[in-house]
Amino acid sequence: MFFCRALRNCSTARKRLALQRIGVITLGATVAAFSMVFIWTFFDPNITPYEAYLGGLIIPLVIAPLASVVTLRLQIRVEELADENYKLANVDSLTGLPNRRAFMHRAEALQVLAGNGRIFVCMIGDADNFKRVNDTYGHPVGDDVLAFLGNQLLALEMDDGVVARLGGEEFAVAGLFGSLEEARTYGDALLGSIARQTFVGRGVSLSVTISMGLAVDRGGEGVSALLSRADKALYRAKADGKNCLAEAA
């Protein structure tokens, strides 16, 4: 029962790892105990081998699993706290996407890989008329719409790319492309995919679109500078009628 309580809230992978560790520790303790008992019987003629080996078997089989469960329970809790801290620091709680901090880290890593026929591109997307959604249907619906947009963007995330929520109704995309035309095609595909979907939730059904700004790394630019240029292009996309992609100068 103690063992079950200790591992009750663990994931399947953690339970499997815990069982493996407990088995290894118990086996190791048993082997060590039998080795010491074997040596002990040579130096103590007053103890029978049966008593010695029985003690060497019972002690590790009882104590080792209990001690292992306590230790592993503490270790698992530490790992769970580490996972929670990582999510708080790197994951947007509303959409499940990487947050700005995680986006910058991943985007910078991708930027280093640019070259050899591949260009690095940053895009910023902003939900169109989002204030109207909040004002008309309320913030709970607005939050669900943002989660809906996050899922749509994540569904088209590239292998050599990252999608994130920067904050509010603003999302970011960064990735490696074979050409500017390929990046434009990808951006248009994102816009088209979202425009074709209908958000349904909390008794509300509505179409949602986003506008996007795109900036190509010209060399010597940091990710922040690229995002700044993409943001300016985003304003132009809004001015051009929304639900479109504009390229930074």
Q: Kindly list the catalytic residues.
A: 169
Contact between residue 214 and residue 233 where contact means Cβ atoms under 8 Å apart = yes
Q: Are 133 and 156 in contact (CB under 8 A)?
A: no
Specify the 3-state DSSP secondary structure of 82: helix
Residues 75 and 37: their CA atoms lie apart, in Å, by 31
Burial of 117 (0-12, 13-18, 19+ CB in 10 A): exposed
- Residue that is written with structure tokens 């504009």 in the block: 246
The Cα–Cα gap between 176 and 161 comes to 6
d(CA 233, CA 249) in angstroms, rounded, equals: 8
